[in-house]
Amino acid sequence: MLSGMIDRVEQAKALASDVRLLILGWLKDPAAHFSHQVTGDPAEIGVCVTLLTAKLGMSQPTVSRHLEILRRAGFLRVRKIGRWSFFARDEAALSDYKDWLRDTL
Amino acid sequence: MLSGMIDRVEQAKALASDVRLLILGWLKDPAAHFSHQVTGDPAEIGVCVTLLTAKLGMSQPTVSRHLEILRRAGFLRVRKIGRWSFFARDEAALSDYKDWLRDTL
């Protein structure tokens, strides 16, 4: 990926996974799917990896790998609080990809 | 892929390649990019694999593999005339994917 350029191939790859589409779907309405998060409002600070891991029923390394692919594509933002990582959608990046696809494809 | 269901993961994978994005881009305006095709109007019957291969400067098996990935995703239609295969965009499938992404992502 050249500096300053958005990697559209990496973004398409990030969307090529049922698990990652599921994660993006849940994070659209985090309060509905992760209402039991105790550390802050999930709509505010994002959703903790441990809750995503529990909901997916997968190992944490696997879930972390999926989250990292989405983060590298620009579709998720991460916020670290203490030893926990909280993930939220980057709506601007998601809209940007959809706009680019609509105009280019 | 369940019968009758569109595989959105396979479609995203099809878009995760610079070569395949290039092919889809060229086939948006085949008359401009493949005006020297002798067997029929490229905008009508599609573009012959041999012309795509020459323009990409890649081996024909490699190009055929890319075209097959796009065809399986539904984004390209193929028409066989004699021993040649001609490829064209399936605009309905491309629009359907963009609409789905806009509404779902």
Nearest to A12 among B15, B98, B104 (CB): B15
Name the residue in chain A with its Cα closest to that of B102: A98
CB atoms within 10 A of CB A28: 13
How many structural domains does chain A have?
A: 1
Chain A residues with CB-CB distance to B10 below 8 A: 16
Spell out a b/e string for A60-76, using b for 16 or more CB atoms within 10 Å of the CB, else e. Answer: eeebbebbebbbebbbb
| A96 within a domain of the structure (yes/no) | yes
At B16 the pLDDT is 97
Q: A26 is written with which tokens?
A: 């849940």
DSSP B80: E
| B87 within a domain of the structure (yes/no) | yes
Nearest to B16 among A9, A98, A105 (CB): A9
Rounded to an integer, what distance in angstroms lies between the CA atom of residue A76 and that of residue A68? 8
Helix (H, G, I), strand (E, B) or coil at A81: strand
A104–B102 C-beta distance less than 8 A: no
pLDDT digits (tens, 9 = 90+) for A38-94: 677 777 789 999 999 999 999 999 999 999 999 999 999 999 988 889 999 999 999
Q: B23 is written with which tokens?
A: 């092919």
| B3 within a domain of the structure (yes/no) | no
pLDDT by position in tens, chain B (length 105):
444 578 999 999 999 999 999 999 999 999 888 877 767 777 778 999 999 999 999 999 999 999 999 999 999 999 998 888 999 999 999 999 999 999 999
Write the CATH number for B30.
1.10.10.10
| A1 within a domain of the structure (yes/no) | no
Residue with tokens 């994005």: B21
| A77 within a domain of the structure (yes/no) | yes
| B2 within a domain of the structure (yes/no) | no
Helix (H, G, I), strand (E, B) or coil at B46: coil
Can you give the residue range of the structural domain that contains B48? 8-104
| B1 within a domain of the structure (yes/no) | no
Closest-CA distance of chain B to residue A8, Å:
7
B102–A102 C-beta distance less than 8 A: yes
pLDDT digits (tens, 9 = 90+) for B80-89: 988 889 999 9
Residues 6+ apart with CB under 8 A from A10: A1, A72, A73, B16
| B48 within a domain of the structure (yes/no) | yes
- Look up the ipTM and state it: 0.88
For chain B, what's the residue count?
105
